[in-house]
Amino acid sequence: MRIGYLDCFSGISGDMMLGALIGAGWPRAELERLPARLGLEGVQITIGEARRGPFVAQRVTVDAPPGQPHRHLHHIRAMIERGDLDAGVKQRALAVFERLAAAEAEVHGSTIEKVHFHEVGAVDALVDVVGAVEGLRALGIEQLHASPLRLGRGAVRSEHGLIPVPAPATTLLLRGVPVELPDIEAELVTPTGAALAVTLVTRWGSAPVFRLTGVGVGAGGRDLKEQPNVLRLLVGERESEAAGLPSRRVAVLETALDDENPQWVGDLVPRLLAAGALDAMTIPTTMKKGRPGLLLVVVAEPDRARALAELLLRESSTLGVRVRTDERYELERRAARVATPFGEVVLKVAMLPDGAERAQPEFESVREVAERAGRPLREVAQAALLAWERERAGSGSAPRT
pLDDT digits (tens, 9 = 90+) for 249-265: 889 999 999 888 888 88
In a domain, 376, yes or no: yes
Q: Please, are residues 287 and 352 in contact by the beta-carbon 8 Å criterion?
A: no
Strand runs labelled E in 205-246: 211-219, 230-237
In the listed set 280, 305, 329, which residue is the last one of a domain according to the structure?
Answer: 329
Average pLDDT on 235-241 reads 74
pLDDT at 290: 84
Residue 176 has pLDDT above 90, yes or no: no
Residue 240 has pLDDT above 90, yes or no: no
In a domain, 400, yes or no: no
In a domain, 401, yes or no: no
Q: 148 in helix, strand or coil?
A: coil
In the listed set 292, 309, 329, which residue is the last one of a domain according to the structure?
Answer: 329
pLDDT at 65: 86
Residue 146 has pLDDT above 60, yes or no: yes
In a domain, 399, yes or no: no
In a domain, 154, yes or no: yes
206 and 90 in one domain?
yes
Q: What is the CATH number of the domain that holds 361?
A: 3.10.20.300
pLDDT at 399: 42
Name beta bridge partners: 211.
237
Residue 138 has pLDDT above 70, yes or no: yes
- What does the alpha-carbon distance between residue 118 and residue 115 come to, in Å, rounded to a whole number? 9
Residue 94 has pLDDT above 80, yes or no: yes
Q: 237 in helix, strand or coil?
A: strand
Domain with 325, as residue range(s), is: 247-329
46 and 193 in one domain?
yes
Residue 241 has pLDDT above 60, yes or no: no
pLDDT at 244: 58
pLDDT-derived band at 117, boundaries 50, 70, 90:
confident
103 and 7 in one domain?
yes
The DSSP letter of residue 141 is -
pLDDT digits (tens, 9 = 90+) for 261-278: 888 888 899 999 999 899
163 and 137 in one domain?
yes
pLDDT digits (tens, 9 = 90+) for 295-329: 999 999 888 899 999 999 999 999 999 998 887 88
Q: What is the CATH number of the domain that holds 321?
A: 3.30.70.1380
280 and 375 in one domain?
no
- Nearest CA to 337 out of 300, 384, 298, 400 is that of 384
Q: Please, are residues 272 and 311 in contact by the beta-carbon 8 Å criterion?
A: yes
pLDDT at 159: 64
336 and 325 in one domain?
no
352 and 287 in one domain?
no
- What does the alpha-carbon distance between residue 194 and residue 216 come to, in Å, rounded to a whole number? 19
351 and 293 in one domain?
no
357 and 217 in one domain?
no
Residue 153 has pLDDT above 90, yes or no: no
Strands 230-237, 2-7: parallel, antiparallel or unpaired by DSSP? antiparallel
166 and 38 in one domain?
yes
162 and 19 in one domain?
yes
Contacts of 123 (CB under 8 A, 6+ apart): 40, 43, 62, 64, 68
pLDDT at 326: 84
Q: How many domains does the chain have?
A: 3
In a domain, 287, yes or no: yes
pLDDT digits (tens, 9 = 90+) for 191-233: 999 999 999 998 888 887 788 999 999 999 888 989 999 999 9
Residue 114 has pLDDT above 70, yes or no: yes
pLDDT at 200: 94
pLDDT-derived band at 400, boundaries 50, 70, 90:
very low
pLDDT-derived band at 119, boundaries 50, 70, 90:
very low
pLDDT at 398: 43
Average pLDDT on 79-88 reads 92
In a domain, 55, yes or no: yes
In the listed set 310, 329, 348, which residue is the last one of a domain according to the structure?
Answer: 329
117 and 199 in one domain?
yes
In a domain, 7, yes or no: yes
